[in-house]
Amino acid sequence: MLISAARLVLNKRPTTPTSSSATGGDRVLNKQTAKPYLGFGLGLRTEHFQDVIDTQPEVDWFEIISENFMVKGGKPKYYLHEIRERYPMVMHGVSLSIGTTDPINFEYLRSLKTLVNEVQPEWLSDHLCWTQHGGINSHDLLPLPYTEEALEHVSSRISATQDFLGQQILIENVSSYLTYNDSTISEWEFLSAVAEKADCLILLDLNNIYVSARNHGFNAEDYLNGIDPDRVQQFHLAGHTDYGDYVIDTHDHDVVHSVWELYAKAIQRFGQVSTMIERDDNIPPLADLVAELNMARAIVDTGTLVQKHVS
């Protein structure tokens, strides 16, 4: 049975900084690329709203799903502001649909800009994909062909979006399950070319690289080596569901060993990059996610993946 690809679907850290934490007075930068560095974050989920306020966990920052807070008020907005007062935030969208051939959705961009003004995030991101066509939204992150036509189309739309928002955005690689016949270059070559042409930044999702590598039969390390470190400002980590012949990006499990290994390699190549764990289904207690996040801290601190910590 096929299982849903479950992606999608919503300022000051008060605790003592750990050795690899980014908090402190001045903005911390990646020593290698001079990019802002936030440390280790989590996706902010409804289930943890009250826990975050009550326990003020050792999390350096939170990432919100932008669309979940494009509402007028009530609990979502209340918790957003309460938590924003305590932690740095970044905004992560799922509906920009940067690759669609539909006209740019300025109504959506206006809502996004309003939320940016409200949240004052450290940065904002969305995906290298398309989600809607002909005015109909699939609410899925649908893949693009890696062609000259798509490169021109997507990069010009990212430029227009950045102009409208008045800031650079981060574009994330998605998990994918199919390849178009007319693709002429690899996904990483396409992502790099888009980032260069549009002058945008990259959110590298290491789980997505792993999932797509398995589904398409490429080497995940080739992907890492094909990306310019100067463009990478954030990492995503997440779990997936492995069906043997293929892998689906479900975000309903812990991060697997192979993705931790890829993370360790990514740290070697890209240096300190703000890292967060996404969990969207089968959501465990907040403390479990904080413990999982500490594995990322340990990898950065030691420079290696410590086997005994891996379940």
Partner 1 sequence: MLQEQQQHLMAYLRNEESQISEHIADQGGINVELRLGIYHNAYRMRLRESIEVDHPVLGIYLGDDLFDLMATEYIKYCPSQRTSLRHFADQLPGFLGRQAPFSEHGQITELARFERLLMTAFDAGEANRLATNKLSALPIQDWPNTTMRFHPSMQIFNTTWNVVEIWQAIREEREPPPPVESTNHWLVWRNSQRLTQFASLSALENQLLKNALEGKNLAELCDTLTTQMEESTVAEKFLLVIKSWFDKGIVSALYPKG
Q: What residues make contact with partner 1 under the rule CB under 8 A?
A: 2-6, 8-9, 67-68, 70-78, 95, 97, 99-101, 105, 108, 111, 130, 132-140, 142, 144-145, 147, 149-150, 153, 177-183, 215-217, 245-246, 248
Nearer to partner 1 by Cβ, of 14 and 103: the residue is: 103
**CB neighbour burial string for 234-271, b if at least 16 within 10 angstroms, e if fewer:** bbbbbbbbeeeeebbbbbbebbbebbbbbbbbbbeebb
Q: How far is the CB of 181 from partner 1 (least distance, A)?
A: 5
Instruction: Tell me 307's DSSP state.
Output: G
Cα 104 to Cα 266: distance, rounded to the nearest angstrom: 33
Nearer to partner 1 by Cβ, of 146 and 235: the residue is: 146
Q: How far is the CB of 87 from partner 1 (least distance, A)?
A: 21
Q: How far is the CB of 232 from partner 1 (least distance, A)?
A: 26
Q: In terms of DSSP bridges, do strands 201-205 and 232-238 run parallel, antiparallel, or are they unpaired?
A: parallel
Nearer to partner 1 by Cβ, of 97 and 234: the residue is: 97
Query: 145: buried, middle or exposed (CB in 10 Å: 19+, 13-18, 0-12)?
Result: middle
- Quick check: 97 and 141 in contact, CB under 8 A? no
Cα 30 to Cα 43: distance, rounded to the nearest angstrom: 21
Nearer to partner 1 by Cβ, of 93 and 121: the residue is: 93
- Quick check: 45 and 290 in contact, CB under 8 A? no
Nearer to partner 1 by Cβ, of 211 and 273: the residue is: 211
Q: How far is the CB of 242 from partner 1 (least distance, A)?
A: 13
Q: How far is the CB of 101 from partner 1 (least distance, A)?
A: 4
